Copies of this chain bind each other. A is one copy, B any other.
């Protein structure tokens, strides 16, 4: 019986996710679901991405947090439309929350929608939001063993950003071992080492991102 309830919840989420995707496609919006541990640098990556594509790509942002509007206020200063979702305890964003957020964004004026999920390396992997790509942000201080410990999230990702490479001299982290672990779990996800503090490595990430967006004028793929 418990399993039945869970099936219904996921079924409903999938249905709403599909509607979100249709609405995004209709408005020519490419959406990215950004997932990570707390403090890995999701908001910093959003800010770096906005700065890197400025003048070329019109960005909109959905900020997901259990509580507070700290991130939306930070992102709002970058001059892009932003909506803050407070999940009120929920450990992940779901498609219904995104449906509500989309209704509050000027979709016609957005090419790229960055959705910052709740900081959690487990639960968000299970909930599609209607996004085109899922991106996992790992960070150097978290350690190079995370792909083994959180395999569902690393399996779900279309790309893995490794943030805080500026801290590599100060912590034990084997970049080769990390990349090998990611590739072993998920052969399709590229790894993008970068530092949102120094900006190093950001161009490779935004180049990949814009390449994903290219089929936008023609039919899009998931």
Contact = CB atoms under 8 A, between A and B. Distances in A.
Interface stretch (A53-61, A106-114, A119-127): A119-127
B149 A68 contact: yes
When all copies of this chain in the complex are counted, the total is: 2
Interface residues of A, number: 37
B2 A38 contact: no
Given A67-B151, A120-B121, A170-B167, A141 B39 contact: yes
Given A37-B119, A91-B91, A118-B122, A167 B151 contact: no
Contacts of A208: none
Contacts of A121: 37-38, 119-120
Chain A contact residues: helix, strand, loop or mixed: loop
Contacts of A164: 141
A171 interface: yes
A145 B119 CA distance: 12
Interface string A63-80: 001111010000000000
A70 to B, nearest CB: 6
A137 to B, nearest CB: 12
Nearest to A1: B5
Contacts of A170: 166-167, 170
5 nearest interchain CB pairs? Answer: A39-B142, A91-B122, A141-B141, A68-B148, A37-B38
Given A68-B149, A119-B150, A171-B197, 9 more contacts: A1-B5, A37-B38, A38-B149, A66-B152, A91-B120, A139-B141, A141-B164, A141-B167, A166-B170
